Amino acid sequence: MLHGDSISDDGVMAEGDTVFATAVRLHEALAGRILTRTDFRVPRFATADLSGQVVREVVPRGKHILVRTDGEVSVHSHLGMDGAWGLYEPGDRWRGRSLEVRGVLETERRIAVGHRLRRLDVLRTSAEPAVLGHLGPDVLGPDWDAAEVTRRLIASSGREVGDALIDQSVMAGPGNVYRSEVCFLAGIDPRLVVTDLADPRGLVDLMKSLMERNRGGGRRVTTDDPRRGYELWVYGRRGRPCRRCGSPIRSFMQGDGAGRVAYVCPRCQPAVGAALRAGG
Ligand SMILES: [Zn+2]
């Protein structure tokens, strides 16, 4: 069954690169500053108040963001499909609907506002592993370990490659856009099972290099052509001609949940089996 492109084709879905760039911006705005007001619009943390604490640092972890304070408290957030942290100055009008605001971290000069966050927690910094311990090495983090990620990928042997690539316990960061683009560049159909991969390490290295190129944020580019409409090989391009061979790009659902659309060029990414023969 083919699904409409509208499910996830906004191109701004938060993946590890977006999260990384967001954390850098938040760190620049908040680190070393005293929180003058906090507001957590999540029932469980509605009474939490971090005012008076100093923001120590803001760090990305896969698709998660941690704002750590000198009071050994961490504000953990996950952007989900379309969440975002906006930065404002006092008196600015905030973007979006006020109902969608989940968290506010205010300092004298800058105000960070979390809109549409999928998740927001306030916890002891020492408790972070309980929330994030399941994550594999972070593609853009200091803990990156290509050999370990390859081991985890191979261990998910019976699964389809497209599923395994966005499993955050294999590696933290990649989402829908990257799995389609990486599979295209590797010339494999994402429905191939991991066991049949000729070069799992090559796929892991490809993911790393593509995400590194985009860690600065902004529009995601995998093609070397940053012009609008030319940035991606297959993602979001159903029915349009492949940039290499001209065949119409196809899409299908892969994995659970909304927005799990995958894209392939049927010619450049031979169906299961053919890739192996072609690759020897
Ligand atoms: Zn093609």
Q: What is the pLDDT of residue 217?
A: 80
Please tell me the distance from the alpha carbon of residue 68 to that of residue 6, in angstroms, as a whole number. 36
Contact 111, 89 (CB under 8 A): yes
pLDDT digits (tens, 9 = 90+) for 168-206: 999 999 999 999 999 999 999 999 999 999 999 999 999
Q: What is the pLDDT of residue 1?
A: 27
Helix and strand counts by DSSP (H, E) for the chain: 7, 10
State residue 195 phi and psi, 5-degree precision: -55, -30
Separation of 264 CA from ligand 1 center, angstroms?
Answer: 8
State residue 176 phi and psi, 5-degree precision: -55, -45
Separation of 209 CA from ligand 1 center, angstroms?
Answer: 22
Summarize the confidence of residues 90-109 as an average pLDDT: 94
In three-state secondary structure terms, 218 is: coil
128: tokens are 């972070």
pTM beyond 0.95, yes or no? no
Q: pLDDT band at 216, cuts 50/70/90?
A: confident
Element (H or E) spanning 177, and its range? helix 176-186
pLDDT digits (tens, 9 = 90+) for 242-277: 999 999 999 999 887 655 899 999 999 987 654 444
Q: What is the pLDDT of residue 11?
A: 40
Contact 272, 189 (CB under 8 A): yes
What CA dihedral angle connects 221, 224, 230 and 236, to 10 degrees? -40
Separation of 97 CA from ligand 1 center, angstroms?
Answer: 41
Separation of 13 CA from ligand 1 center, angstroms?
Answer: 24
Is the pLDDT at 12 greater than 80? The verdict is no
Summarize the confidence of residues 104-113 as an average pLDDT: 97
Separation of 244 CA from ligand 1 center, angstroms?
Answer: 5
Task: Give Cα 247 to chain centroid, integer Å.
Answer: 29
172: tokens are 């933290």
Is the pLDDT at 2 greater than 90? The verdict is no
Is the pLDDT at 86 greater than 50? The verdict is yes
Q: pLDDT band at 279, cuts 50/70/90?
A: very low
Parallel, antiparallel or unpaired: strands 73-78 and 37-40: unpaired
What CA dihedral angle connects 128, 134, 138 and 142, to 10 degrees? 50
Summarize the confidence of residues 82-108 as an average pLDDT: 94
Is the pLDDT at 25 greater than 80? The verdict is yes
Which of 105-114, 224-233, 264-273 is least confident?
264-273
Separation of 266 CA from ligand 1 center, angstroms?
Answer: 7
